[in-house]
Structure 1
Amino acid sequence: MTTTSEYHVYTAQSRPDLWPDWDNESHPFCSIWPKFFEGDLTDKFYLSKTRNYDELRKFQFFIVRQSPTEPEILVAFAQSIPFFWPELEAIGGRTGLSSHPEVLQSLPDGGYDTILSRGVEQCHARQGLPPLAAPFTDDQARDCTRKCNNRPNALSALSLAVLPEWRSKGLAEMMLGCMKAAARETGLEVLVVPLRPTRKVDFPNVNIADYMFWTKGFGPAQGPVGPILSGDRERVVNGKPCLPFDPWLRKHVSLGGKVVKVARKSMAVEGDMNHFIDLNFIDDVAYTYI
């Protein structure tokens, strides 16, 4: 448990009572996630299972605000999952990344869905049990490591949410710090984050491979997107690389993360035509590693 004067961090192992009731639509965390998450079959099937295993519960985090005069309040919630990454093991772990950076490209193109299913299925295999489900996506079907029972060597963030009224208080940084600490304490060598850039939805017609290298101060407000932003990915000011334009990417990079690749099939969402018309979204995910 991590403690500040006002906020306390617990895991699902130490405080299982804090786990949000996702079936209760009035629960404040239920309204945070985009509606299209409801159509992701992988998310529906696997995410709740991170509470079923001791080795996974310690990677699920809660921040509670505690006061002597008021009831405790759950203000932030984050989930992550350990997984075995064979390509990382093949180069000798994290130390091998400096000479073999191409290994980062071996992270699955299926992003969130594939990492989530891999982590849970591998955990299940370590219990000596058969697979929980057939692959939900083509990328999961290609993931030959999802049935491995090897000891995990990496940690992936899955989600992080802070209630709106408690944002800008450093709680997201606290959660990411907890993930990094948990990875170190359990011998996991790398933390990866398949994340949704929060402002990408404002620029649906911009390729995410270009968007994720937009830099702060060189956003579209200064002129036509293409001419202004082309070639900015290596921009340096005062000897330091510019931080990303996107706030959520910027947060991770400022904490030591590095943008690695695009996972264009990170979430496979199913629904009828009206479902997608109502959502009106074009969404991609970028990987970072820390």
Structure 2
Amino acid sequence: MAYEIHTLAERPELLGEVWTLNPTWPEFMYHGPVADAHYGQLVDTFHDYTLVATEEGRAVARGHTLPVALDLPGRRNLPPDGWDRMLIWAFDDHRRGRRTDTVSAVEVVIDPAHRGRGLSTLMLRAMADNARTKGSSRLIVPVRPTAKHERPETPLDAYVRDVAPDGLPRDPWLRTHVQLGGEIAGIAPASMTIPGSLEQWRTWTSLPFDKDGPVIVPGALAPIHCAASFGYAVYVEPNVWISHNLT
């Protein structure tokens, strides 16, 4: 049976199922302060920008997008703190009633049983179509490259330059975006910041976090900075800015 994709505004009865989808993120990814402050409000605030894919009536994927006003002083360049900044700007714009001009995708989650079937491509296309319908001429995405965690010590700009013989990125998710017409528009070196005490990081990772210096953590795209002498550690995740022209 074919997948059907709707906004949550069109299918509000799917709200409960949306949150049952498991993104399989590493535990530490659930503890960013910006995400804690905003993530749970996405579907209530931007239900007409939340996409849900179903098969035989059951939710098998979700995609969150956000309307933002980029044509403002101080905002005309894609920000270095990509994912975090998109949430901050979108909710600020909503509170202030600003007219928005751009849509940013911030998450696609596919049910594990449906991965590898091209559903992520369908979700990305649906996000672009929905953004176009809302009057946006551009879809921007702070992309978390799906295979970068296998090379955490490689700088992201070098990782992005690693292309296959056909000239497309080797990373599967970056490759999908480029195949659909997306342009790599830059690096967001501090896209998501997750600070925590040493005890929190030990709980999240089961690693000792007992020495000053970088710590390689499974699932992280870059080393975590451990300041054991001062009692804390910080993960600063880099993402890749992708821009899709919708005109």
- Root mean square deviation of aligned Cα: 2.2
Q: Secondary structure at the match of 1:284?
A: strand
Corresponding residue of 2:54 = 64
Q: Which residue of 1 aligns with 2:71?
A: 86
Q: CA deviation at 1:51?
A: 2.2
> Residue 74 of structure 1: CA displacement?
1.2
1:273 to 189, 198, 220: 198
Aligned length: 214
2:191 match: secondary structure: coil
Q: Conserved in 1, the CA contact under 8 Å of 2:70 and 2:102? A: yes
Task: Write out per-residue CA displacement over residues 198-253 of structure 1, whole angstroms, 9 at most, x where no aligned residue.
Answer: 11111111110111111025xxxxxxxxxxxxxxxxxxx5xxxx000111111100
Per-residue CA deviations over 1:108-141 (Å, capped at 9, x if unaligned) read 1110000111011101111xxxxxxxxxxxxxxx
Alignment-derived partner of residue 132 in structure 2: 184
Would the alpha carbon gap of residues 80 and 166 (structure 1) be closer, same or farther in structure 2, given more than 3 Å must change? same
Q: Is the 8 A contact 1:49 1:120 kept in 2?
A: no
Change (3 A) 1:107 1:31: closer
Question: C-alpha distance in 2, partners of 1:200/1:166?
Answer: 22
Percent identity over the alignment?
A: 26
Distance 1:204 1:181, change over 3 A: same
Unaligned runs of 5+ in 2: 208-216, 223-236
CA shift digits 1:33-62 (9 cap, x unpaired): 232222111112112222223xx2111011
One-letter code aligned to 2:49 = F
Which residue, out of 43, 52, 58, partners 2:35? 43
TM-score normalised by the chain length of structure 1:
0.68
Correspondence for 2:12: 16
- 1:170, 1:87 → 2: CA distance? 36
Kept in 2: contact 1:216–1:246 (CA 8 A): no
1:152 lines up with 2:123 in the alignment = no
Cα separation, 2, equivalents of 1:207 and 1:31? 25
> Which residue matches 2:90?
119
> Deviation of residue 196 (structure 1)?
0.7
Q: Which stretch shows the higher mean deviation, 109-118 or 160-169?
A: 160-169
Is residue 76 of structure 1 aligned with residue 61 of structure 2?
yes
Gaps spanning 5+ residues in structure 1: where?
A: 67-71, 91-102, 127-148, 218-236
What SS is found at the alignment partner of 2:79?
coil
Cα 1:31/1:9, change in 2 over 3 Å: closer
Query: Any conservation in 2 of the 1:9–1:63 contact (CA below 8 Å)?
Result: yes
Output one character per residue of 1:153-182: Cα deviation in whole Å (capped at 9) or x when no partner: 110001001112112222111111111111
Amino acid at match of 2:24: I
Following superposition, which runs of at least 4 residues in structure 1 exceed 3 angstroms of deviation? 274-277
Q: Which amino acid aligns with 2:47?
A: R
Q: Which amino acid aligns with 1:60?
A: T
Correspondence for 1:224: none
Correspondence for 1:211 among 159, 166, 189: 159
In structure 1, distance between residues paired with 2:24 and 2:109: 7
Task: Look at both structures and tell me which one has the larger radius of gyration over its CA atoms.
Answer: 1
Aligned partners of 2:197 and 2:156: how far apart in 1?
A: 25
Indicate whether 1:255 and 2:247 are aligned: no
SS where residue 205 of structure 1 aligns? coil
Distance 2:164 2:198 in 1: 36
**Contact 2:144–2:239 at 8 Å: present in 1 too?**
yes
